[in-house]
């Protein structure tokens, strides 16, 4: 079955305040990309693009031709070197394979739900290295059916606008595949700023906001909009009840928080002052207070440990925190292990301890145990220049949001006599 076959050719699949793209036009773009990929014998590609038109056309073209798709979380050179694919498509600079959406081709590929394409995303593994998670199209479509059954009972055709990247599972599902598969319209641009909501109002359509908690936390009390979304989704971190209430009042819309991961897909959802409720079809069990789940959305068939501690309630469960060293800053999963592992590769560093500091907002702070080379650098150029040098090197391998905002240096070991890093003692260096 073709994903778009149930939609009329004139249906507006994408829109902005300046242009519209119909199903018929998207078919042409997909056919063009598919032909270009097949002419080059491409069987796998890494797709990273902030241009939703490019992203959707390439994604659907790959599905049409059973081409495997890798969706990296970033386009850093270090990650590009580790990805084993036939080509890079999108925002990769001169390394990227050129894709021309203006080329027209008469052969239209079928975007079928029986595609054998493998879809690989990345998430932070417990070892500190980015972990690849391979999903099938059928798993993603199964989750979309549950999302639609759970939330869209009374919706008419509407517009889906997003503040989150479609390179991650949440953005891919909620802001791209769900609206496409169910005949809604995708807003062309990301919404990094609240003021951009005013552009959406020009279309005078009911709309859904796919948001990060960070966006909702930053809503400006002084800004007012002419239109409210019919529904807001938030995922990637947990809103407190106070933050949830404030955002609902500001947007005049009901907010649903969604809990899940790249490995598990969606697990549960909650409204204001509610416990987490499992999505239909999600099985659960508790071992050592950790939540294990199994569902048709999981990337493999057996039980998966979420490494989240929970408390079971009469109506669902409460999240108590993580049991590993993966943290969420601005709704991005960050491995403290990875920061430390990258740091100890630096020529000035013996050991490193990455921490999360809460001072109004969360950020990463890092203590570096430096060697003689580090001391010599400081003596010649000063601490400020060494901090700049460290951040510059780390920026080649980790996301900007994971770079330490505050740095402290030490010539003493960062561990005690038992070889343990004492969190409380390290935090004192920043307070």
What is the structure's pLDDT at 367? 95
Average pLDDT over residues 180-198: 90
From 390, 386, 388, 370, select the one nearest 378 (Cα to Cα).
386
Q: Considering the chain, what percentage of its residues have pLDDT values greater than 70?
A: 93
Average pLDDT score over residue span 336-355: 88
- Nearest CA to 277 out of 370, 372, 151, 402 is that of 151
pLDDT of residue 108: 55
Per-residue CA distances from 364 to 178, 289, 297, 344, 404 (Å): 34, 27, 32, 16, 5
Fold of 327-428: GMP Synthetase; Chain A, domain 3 (3.30.300)
- Span of 115-129, 138-152, 339-353, 382-396 with lowest mean pLDDT: 115-129
Query: Given this model, what pLDDT does residue 112 score?
Result: 61
**131-185 per-position pLDDT tens digit:** 889 999 999 999 999 999 999 888 889 999 999 999 999 999 999 999 999 999 9
d(C-alpha 370, C-alpha 410), whole Å? 6
Residue 226 burial class via C-beta count within 10 angstroms: exposed 0-12, middle 13-18, buried 19 and up = exposed
255 touches 238 (CB < 8 A): no
pLDDT at 89: 97
Rounded to whole angstroms, the Cα distance separating 200 from 161 reads 8
Which regions of the chain carry the CATH code 3.30.300.30?
Answer: 327-428
CATH number 3.20.10.10 is the correct assignment for the domain at 12-322:
no
Q: In what order do the strands lie in the sheet with 406-410?
A: 349-359, 361-370, 406-410
Evaluate if pTM is beyond 0.85. Answer: no
Distance of CA 380 to the CA centre of its chain: 41
* C-beta of residue 227 within 8 angstroms of C-beta of residue 200: yes
Residues of the chain with CATH 3.40.50.12780: 12-322
pLDDT confidence of residue 3: 78
The model's pLDDT over 12-41, given as tens digits with 9 standing for 90+, comes to 999 988 889 999 999 999 999 999 999 999
Closest C-alpha to 390, from 373, 414, 412: 373
């Amino acid at each position: 079955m073709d994903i778009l076959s149930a939609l009329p050719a004139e249906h507006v699949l994408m829109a902005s305040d300046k242009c519209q793209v119909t199903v018929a036009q998207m078919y042409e773009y997909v056919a063009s990309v598919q032909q270009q990929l097949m002419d080059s014998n491409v069987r796998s590609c890494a797709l990273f693009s902030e241009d939703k038109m490019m992203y959707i056309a390439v994604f659907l073209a790959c599905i049409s031709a059973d081409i495997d798709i890798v969706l990296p979380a970033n386009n850093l050179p270090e990650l590009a070197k580790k990805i084993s694919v036939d080509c890079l498509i999108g925002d990769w600079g001169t390394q990227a394979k050129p894709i021309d959406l203006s080329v027209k081709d008469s052969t239209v590929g079928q975007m079928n739900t029986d595609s054998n394409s493998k879809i690989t995303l990345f998430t932070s593994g417990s070892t500190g290295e980015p972990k690849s998670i391979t999903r099938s199209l059928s798993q993603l479509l199964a989750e979309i059916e549950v999302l639609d059954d759970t939330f869209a009972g009374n919706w008419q055709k509407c517009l889906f606008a997003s503040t989150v990247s479609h390179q991650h599972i949440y953005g891919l599902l909620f802001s791209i595949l769900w609206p496409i598969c169910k005949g809604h319209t995708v807003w062309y641009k990301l919404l990094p700023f609240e003021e951009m909501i005013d552009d959406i109002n020009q279309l005078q359509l009911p709309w859904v906001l796919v948001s990060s908690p960070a966006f909702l936390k930053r809503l400006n009390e002084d800004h007012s909009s002419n239109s409210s979304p019919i529904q807001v989704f938030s995922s990637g971190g947990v809103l407190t009840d106070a933050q949830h209430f404030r955002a609902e009042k500001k947007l005049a819309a009901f907010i649903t928080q969604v809990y899940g991961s790249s490995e598990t897909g969606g697990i549960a959802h909650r409204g204001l002052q509610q416990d987490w409720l499992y999505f239909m079809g999600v099985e659960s069990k508790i071992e050592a207070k950790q939540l294990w789940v199994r569902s048709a959305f999981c990337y493999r068939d057996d039980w998966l440990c979420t490494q989240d501690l929970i408390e079971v309630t009469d109506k669902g469960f409460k999240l108590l925190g993580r049991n590993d060293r993966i943290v969420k800053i601005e709704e991005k999963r960050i491995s403290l292990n990875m920061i430390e592992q990258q740091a100890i590769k630096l020529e000035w560093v013996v050991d490193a301890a990455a921490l999360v500091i809460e001072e109004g907002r969360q950020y990463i702070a890092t203590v570096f145990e430096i060697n003689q080379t580090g001391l010599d650098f400081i003596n010649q150029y000063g601490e400020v220049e060494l901090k700049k040098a460290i951040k510059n090197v780390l920026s080649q391998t980790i996301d900007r949001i994971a770079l330490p905002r505050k740095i402290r240096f030490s010539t003493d070991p960062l561990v005690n006599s038992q070889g343990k890093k004492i969190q409380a003692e390290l935090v004192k260096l920043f307070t």
